[in-house]
Structure 1
């Protein structure tokens, strides 16, 4: 025996969104989300779709719902939910509990349906509707002319501290006894109850903008950024994933820290990202209620085959960043902005080059850099950790030679050193783009900082921190980079001479600046984020 009558009102017409009730979200029409929710609630409803539209009625019948052909006088814009509910109850001669579940609220959960029924019974109410609290400051315009306006709030405080008194009916769940409905001709009766629901379930689709917002919520998945950041490998992997996370924060994001120093935890904590330590190959990731589907992004240098096979066996789609290990060959997607293509044998897609370079927002939409005739300003920066202590060495060599205005930026986890008095020393900077823009030459490592300089258009002299960096694909004159080689093998005199020659040649600096700007289009983070979105949708 059915527990209650569940009416799904779904007329064919709609002003705000054409054919709204049959618009597809995540592979099924709006009415499908509501019908599935009712079936998953475990409440044994008698589901009846009320419509004037043959396509809607046909779809409902094919998917096992009972159909009620709505009369034309109840199919216009002025027809109320209450009048439709009365018509269905009378035509079915239904006695008992009635629920109205509008398909324009596809985010309601099966648990909310159960809770509403329980509250209706426990409070012995005649009707119930779901509501959310409005968290903005509302005013009541008594006349519609703004001549008599009064606040619907107490004191003006920040929203997180305010007492929110205004309730908004969601239309997601409305319950009423058949006797009260027929007696009062309304789904809201004198003995009415309210159930507050989570804001995530309160979206009601009236416009195309509403539809797209709900579509994004329904397509929300889980993204795990697995990163390595320490004094040996640097902080570039963490910064890279932080940039991607900002483009993907419509999904639930979690950082897994593999071989990370304390600065990585502090950085994530200060920015509000959730993190936990990587438990290793045999450990439990304990993802709790992270939504499905899920993608794991490995930015940990080279992965093993066992790592990637384990992730895929656990149901993840797998992305590997700057990965030259055997595991990368088994990933769904390999993104190497720094390395050239590495042969064949990959089971998934491989994307390489500057098109996939990611840059912070401060490096976007910069004005054109002017190249002065006489350059003197040198910016020295070797990343967040500088494992080779190249910043100290380059700074001292330039300062001792004289003739340069040197600024050195120390990374958050780099080793401090005592710079010569003539050198300006900065740390934990937040305005790297401005510092580069004000410089005539940047001396840096062979990682992503080169791409940052390219976005600014400041000529770059590059020294690799290690042999792996020396293989990066963007280290060439065609791209505007003067690459001197592995830092430990380059003499101080070579560094000083190269800086001096470049500062003394405006034509060369202008040419390198032009090549650098042409080498990058600043859309790398968006491309990677779009690719990850496609992986989630494909699941």
Structure 2
């Protein structure tokens, strides 16, 4: 059995009510729920929230909210791993622990069901603890700059000054969309960024952080250009 777990607390600060604010015609969290449903991979889609309005919107789009998240896991400092462990403990106590689970962020409107499927395939093919979405940096990080204490610029890795960027290798960052895990292995390590994590490569045009109103506007324009 596979379970999707979507963390969605109510106390977003930079974009109030971010998880249920309308994005491209539907509440933000609905995009994640719909992608999970369309993938056909999950026997259950569970939303972990402390907020009744988020809970109701989630139910309206086909997810279940079988418990409310405790306040100590809904503040600005609660990490994703702690939230997932709480949900898994709830399932274990009822004898419903899944073979694998997928944490899907509530603010990932570009998540596609085909990449969710690729993630599960990679998890089992590589016999890994976790598999999660990554995308490449647009420019080589190995030629990155920083400012010094006196306001001047310097290379972080000056040894790469005269090397061609194509010779420096690719670098990736977390795409912030989804994280598959083998449940038993994850309970042993209790980290999504496990020691043997494998990548699920997402094209850069399907990745957009949404942390500010400007990010939101940019993401909606991207979404409409891609899917309208």
Q: CA contact under 8 A between 1:8 and 1:100: conserved in structure 2?
A: yes
The residue aligned with 2:68 is 69
Large movers: runs of 4+ above 3 Å:
143-148, 151-157, 161-164
Q: CA contact under 8 A between 2:20 and 2:57: conserved in structure 1?
A: no
User: 1:437-476 residue pairs with structure 2 within 5 A?
Assistant: none
The residue aligned with 1:299 is none
Deviation of 1:79 (Å): 0.9
Match of 1:18 among 10, 16, 19: 16
Q: What are the superposed Cα offsets for residues 268-302 of structure 1, whole Å, 9 maximum, x if unpaired?
A: xxxxxxxxxxxxxxxxxxxxxxx54xxxxxxxxxx
Is 1:38 the counterpart of 2:45? The answer is: no
The residue aligned with 2:219 is 214
Gapped regions of structure 1 (runs ≥ 5): 222-290, 293-539
Mapped to 2, the partners of 1:23 and 1:48 lie a distance apart of 19
Mapped to 2, the partners of 1:196 and 1:65 lie a distance apart of 26
The residue aligned with 1:111 is 114
Pairs aligned (count): 218
Higher-Rg structure is 1
Q: CA contact under 8 A between 1:21 and 1:31: conserved in structure 2?
A: yes
User: 1:85-100 residue pairs with structure 2 within 5 A?
Assistant: 85-93=84-92, 94-100=97-103
Mapped to 2, the partners of 1:63 and 1:125 lie a distance apart of 31
Q: CA contact under 8 A between 1:176 and 1:188: conserved in structure 2?
A: no
Mapped to 2, the partners of 1:23 and 1:105 lie a distance apart of 13
Deviation of 1:156 (Å): 5.3
1:213 aligned counterpart, secondary structure: helix
Q: What are the superposed Cα offsets for residues 182-227 of structure 1, whole Å, 9 maximum, x if unpaired?
A: 2222112222111211112221211111111111122226xxxxxx
Match of 2:129 among 123, 126, 130: 126
The residue aligned with 2:156 is 149
The residue aligned with 1:476 is none
The residue aligned with 1:5 is 3
The residue aligned with 1:185 is 190
Deviation of 1:122 (Å): 0.9
Mapped to 2, the partners of 1:103 and 1:26 lie a distance apart of 14
Mapped to 1, the partners of 2:172 and 2:179 lie a distance apart of 15
The RMSD of aligned alpha carbons is: 2.6
1:219 aligned counterpart, secondary structure: helix
Q: CA contact under 8 A between 1:4 and 1:46: conserved in structure 2?
A: yes
Q: What are the superposed Cα offsets for residues 402-441 of structure 1, whole Å, 9 maximum, x if unpaired?
A: xxxxxxxxxxxxxxxxxxxxxxxxxxxxxxxxxxxxxxxx
The residue aligned with 1:136 is 139
Deviation of 1:42 (Å): 2.2
Q: CA contact under 8 A between 2:132 and 2:200: conserved in structure 1?
A: yes
Q: CA contact under 8 A between 1:140 and 1:151: conserved in structure 2?
A: no
Mapped to 2, the partners of 1:57 and 1:147 lie a distance apart of 49
Q: Greater RCO between the two (CA within 8 Å, min separation 6)?
A: 2
Change (3 A) 1:17 1:123: same
2:10 aligned counterpart, secondary structure: coil
